[in-house]
Amino acid sequence: MNLLFGVHNHQPVGNFEDVFKKANQECYRPFVNILYDYPRIKSTFHFSGSLIDWLLKNDPGLLEKVKEMLKRGQVEILTGGYYEPVLPVIPERDRIGQIDMLSSFIRDYFEYEPKGIWIGERVWEPHLVKTLARCGIKYTLLDEAHFRSGGMAGKKMTGYYITEEEGATLAVFPISERLRYTVPFSLPSEPIAYLKKLADEKGDSSCTIVDDGEKFGLWPGTHKWVYQERWLEKFFQLLIKNQDWLKTQTIYEHMQTHKPQGLFYLPCASYEKMDAWSGGFFRNFFSKYPEANNLHKRMLYVSDMLGTPPAMTEKEENKEARKHLYMGQCNCPYWHGVFGGIYLGHLRHVAYKNLITAQALMEKKRKPPWIETEAFDFDKDGRDELIVRNSLLSVFIAPEQGGAILELDYMPGGVNLTDGMSRRPEAYHEKIKSGLKKPFSLRRKKIISIHDLLKSKEKGLKNFLIYDSYRRLSLLDHFFYQNLTLEDFKNCRYEELGDFINAPYSVEQEKGEQALSIILRREGKINYHGEEIPLVLSKELSLNARDAQVLIKYNLENLSGRPIGIVFGVEFNISLESQAPVNNLRCAGEGGQRTYSLKEDVKGRAIERLSLQDATCGIETAFYFDKRPSLWAHPLETVSASESGFERNYQQTVILPCWPLRLERAWQTNIRIVVS
């Protein structure tokens, strides 16, 4: 029996520096050191480009050690998308570009031609075969779940198979599910016993286990288990002890000495847990999380602007823009499972920063001032959106979704100011009230897999399980009774009197030479004490070519002929880098100017100006009001799973200027947003 053993090591683009350091100190470095001391154990490595970039600056000796093992024939290196994208959901030109980028690094640094590829999150779609063949890839590794989805029985999942697309072929090695959940989560003897059973049944075949390197030291409880309790060394020693029947090989070495098991076609799939989280198909994350869809379609928008790299030398600004595009394709903020994923604001912010920066670099050649608008189905839901752009701002407007602002980008800072999340139910929320498991089981002398670990990082998380009935966009039009409180609004305990949230608005454009206006209008109704009151709401957004500001003119018209006592509120969701003390909210109104922490709920009266200071990014977003409103503001936090347990995450600050009205016929107000 031949064991094809290896690890995939990755940290997301934009992850915190201390996470990189901890991962290297507790996981990557000790693993490489121990493997280096066992030259008879052959292995396969994959390092994502974002991790390589960090290692080159902070621990180049680790890569040099891997290079030495490569030269002595102990290891091989897999290529992949440089910044670990989910390959099927990015354009083919970008797939090829990202793979070529990592393969070129491997050739230049390791002096090795990679033969195999690591597929990010093992998200497979059959058309990938052609892309990989074009990149010179000979093989990849996918889970047993992929093969089961195609109808293969478990007993056949050894060795490797050939798959095909339009005549292009690729070898595929099934990753053993049994070994994925026992290495290193059981006693070292358990996977050896399983391999012995396979050897007795299969003879000279192979079993593959290549999985996340972070399980060897970074996942909860694993550093002590793998290194202090010497799991990895014991496992390697058992492999050597049983070498009369069990050998380790690199994957390509095995391909050169063993024939494939046959031809097999794999359906769209990922590993079993991922398929459960996504509902069976990775792209479902884009329908489950509109925020993920927005990020994905923003990425496609920028990729289309860049187009296909020319065969000859590309302009320097386009090279830099393409690198930022690739960084913005890092998969982590596009989905959510046991890891934080899309709920981790810092990963979303970095993805948007790279995509916006890529666009800004391409637009540098345009001499300001300029302004333009385009209407098309940006988010691919069958309804057109509007994009208004100048050199400083990009405003994405959704007439069919309450006439809301989908995205407000400040181009010089590379910041999406409205990069927030809505609070929604997750299946694991039901587990928060149940018993929590510790990462180490004394009774069974093994650690619990991260997929089974239930741990709360703070008490009382169930009190924060609040769910939104609408998507938290900006420029949302609310109507309430006058007895509503901030606490009720924050916790979604109120009656929405109007039918304007998520509803379609008509749209018109007025264009000037250096300015333009978007007029959104809806003939709706107010449910006022059981009576339907017809009401027309229009809002006009005006931008000019020179400034980073948006002027919003509101007009309400009561068509009923009778006065109504209501509160009109306009909701904005502004996402700051963090709730760090240097970031704050400032109000100027009745009682003078006050400064609030982003952790506070805010109530103000007769507000003339409010601003959100994001000192982390060096950006201020200010709101000015001509008819001074009352103000409610509060942090919006979600409860989500991460590798270290259930946690609360700040997503954005909700801003609600609101005007108590006795609305007889018509009423107008202006809001001016200035970004600097």
- How far apart CA 664 and CA 567 sit, in angstroms, is 13
273 versus 302: the higher-pLDDT residue is 302
Neighbours of 662 (CB within 10 A): 10
Same domain flag for 216 and 355? no
For strand 168-175 and strand 161-165, is the pairing parallel, antiparallel, or unpaired? antiparallel
CB 540 within 8 A of CB 516: no
Same domain flag for 360 and 288? yes
Is 422 among the domain residues? Answer: no
Is 139 among the domain residues? Answer: yes
Whole-number pLDDT of residue 459:
83
Same domain flag for 150 and 289? no
pLDDT band at 676 (very low <50, low <70, confident <90, very high): confident
Q: Mean pLDDT, to the nearest integer, of 282-310?
A: 95
Q: Residue 15 contacts by C-beta under 8 Å, 6 or more apart in sequence?
A: 50, 346, 347
Q: Mean pLDDT, to the nearest integer, of 408-429?
A: 96
Is 26 among the domain residues? Answer: yes
Whole-number pLDDT of residue 379:
97
Host H or E run for residue 592: strand 592-597
Is 496 among the domain residues? Answer: yes
pLDDT by residue (tens digit) across 349-401?
999 999 999 999 999 989 889 999 999 999 999 999 999 999 999 999 999 99
36 CB burial (10 A radius; 0-12, 13-18, 19+): middle
- How far apart CA 206 and CA 199 sit, in angstroms, is 9
Q: Which residues are catalytic?
A: 121, 212
Residue 148 pLDDT > 90, yes or no? yes
Residue 443 pLDDT > 50, yes or no? no
If you search the block for the tokens 């060096």, which residue do you land on? 618
Crossing angle of the two packed helices 231-241 and 29-36, in degrees rounded to 10: 30
176 CB burial (10 A radius; 0-12, 13-18, 19+): buried
- Percentage of the residues of the chain whose pLDDT score is greater than 70: 96
Closest CA to 507 of 654, 623, 375, 630: 375
Average pLDDT, the chain: 94
Ranges 14-28, 222-236, 457-471: which has the least confidence: 457-471
If you search the block for the tokens 């999340």, which residue do you land on? 421
Preceding omega of 184 cis (within 30 degrees of 0): yes
End position of a domain, from candidates 367, 387, 421: 367
CB 156 within 8 A of CB 260: no
Whole-number pLDDT of residue 97:
97
CB 431 within 8 A of CB 454: yes
Is 658 among the domain residues? Answer: yes
For the CA atoms of 423, 425, 427, 428, what is the dihedral angle to 10 degrees?
50
Secondary structure E strands in 183-227: 206-212
pLDDT by residue (tens digit) across 489-535?
999 999 999 999 999 999 999 998 899 999 999 999 999 999 999 99
Q: Mean pLDDT, to the nearest integer, of 147-173?
A: 92
Whole-number pLDDT of residue 105:
99
Long-range contacts at 18-24 (CB < 8 A, ≥ 24 apart): 20/51, 20/54, 20/58, 21/58, 22/218, 23/214, 23/218, 24/54, 24/55, 24/58, 24/59, 24/62
Same domain flag for 288 and 227? no
Ordered strands of the 609-614 beta sheet:
506-511, 515-528, 531-544, 549-558, 666-675, 619-625, 609-614, 584-589, 592-597
Residue 107 pLDDT > 80, yes or no? yes
Preceding omega of 369 cis (within 30 degrees of 0): yes
pLDDT band at 451 (very low <50, low <70, confident <90, very high): low
Is 389 among the domain residues? Answer: no
If you search the block for the tokens 């299946």, which residue do you land on? 427
Q: Which amino acid is at 179?
A: L
Is 219 among the domain residues? Answer: yes
CB 346 within 8 A of CB 484: no
Same domain flag for 29 and 105? yes
pTM: 0.95
Report the half-sphere exposure of 394 (CA within 13 A, side-chain side).
23
Same domain flag for 165 and 287? no
329 CB burial (10 A radius; 0-12, 13-18, 19+): buried
Same domain flag for 239 and 299? no
- How far apart CA 592 and CA 604 sit, in angstroms, is 10
Closest CA to 641 of 425, 289, 336, 219: 336
Same domain flag for 23 and 64? yes
End position of a domain, from candidates 257, 274, 291: 274
End position of a domain, from candidates 344, 367, 390: 367
If you search the block for the tokens 């922490």, which residue do you land on? 597
SS3 242: coil
Q: Residue 312 contacts by C-beta under 8 Å, 6 or more apart in sequence?
A: none
Phi, psi torsion values for 26, nearest 5 degrees? -100, -10
Query: What would the 3-class secondary structure string for 123-163 be?
Result: CECCCHHHHHHHCCCCEEEEEHHHHHHCCCCHHHCCCCEEE
Same domain flag for 291 and 258? no
Q: Residue 676 contacts by C-beta under 8 Å, 6 or more apart in sequence?
A: 548, 619, 620, 622
Same domain flag for 501 and 648? yes
Residue 453 pLDDT > 70, yes or no? no
Host H or E run for residue 49: helix 49-58
Closest CA to 388 of 159, 542, 235, 167: 542
For residue 537, CA distances in Å to 83, 501, 504, 569, 660 come to: 46, 12, 12, 12, 16
Q: How many residues does the chain have?
A: 676
pLDDT by residue (tens digit) across 571-587?
999 999 889 888 999 99
- How far apart CA 418 and CA 165 sit, in angstroms, is 41
The tokens of 650 are what? Answer: 């700040």
Residue 441 pLDDT > 60, yes or no? no
pLDDT by residue (tens digit) across 129-141?
999 999 999 999 9
Closest CA to 309 of 292, 322, 290, 320: 322
pLDDT band at 438 (very low <50, low <70, confident <90, very high): low
Phi, psi torsion values for 366, nearest 5 degrees? -85, 130
Same domain flag for 352 and 227? no
Q: Where are the alpha helices (DSSP H) in 466-617?
A: 486-490
Query: Phi-psi bin for 355: left (phi > 0), alpha (psi -120 to 50), beta?
Result: alpha
Is 611 among the domain residues? Answer: yes
Ranges 85-89, 108-112, 269-273, 388-392: which has the least confidence: 269-273
- Boundaries of domain holding 343: 283-367
Q: Which amino acid is at 358?
A: A
Q: Residue 485 contacts by C-beta under 8 Å, 6 or more apart in sequence?
A: none
Phi, psi torsion values for 518, nearest 5 degrees? -115, 120
- How far apart CA 65 and CA 605 sit, in angstroms, is 64
pLDDT band at 74 (very low <50, low <70, confident <90, very high): very high
Q: Mean pLDDT, to the nearest integer, of 17-34?
A: 98
For the chain, what is the domain count? 3
pLDDT band at 432 (very low <50, low <70, confident <90, very high): confident
Same domain flag for 28 and 160? yes
Ranges 173-177, 439-443, 498-502, 516-520: which has the least confidence: 439-443
Whole-number pLDDT of residue 214:
97
CATH of the domain at 554: 2.70.98.10
Residue 235 pLDDT > 50, yes or no? yes
Secondary structure E strands in 203-243: 206-212
CB 1 within 8 A of CB 202: yes
CATH of the domain at 163: 3.20.110.20
The tokens of 430 are what? Answer: 């039901």
CB 65 within 8 A of CB 23: no
The tokens of 31 are what? Answer: 């693993």
Ordered strands of the 415-416 beta sheet:
371-376, 385-390, 393-398, 404-410, 415-416
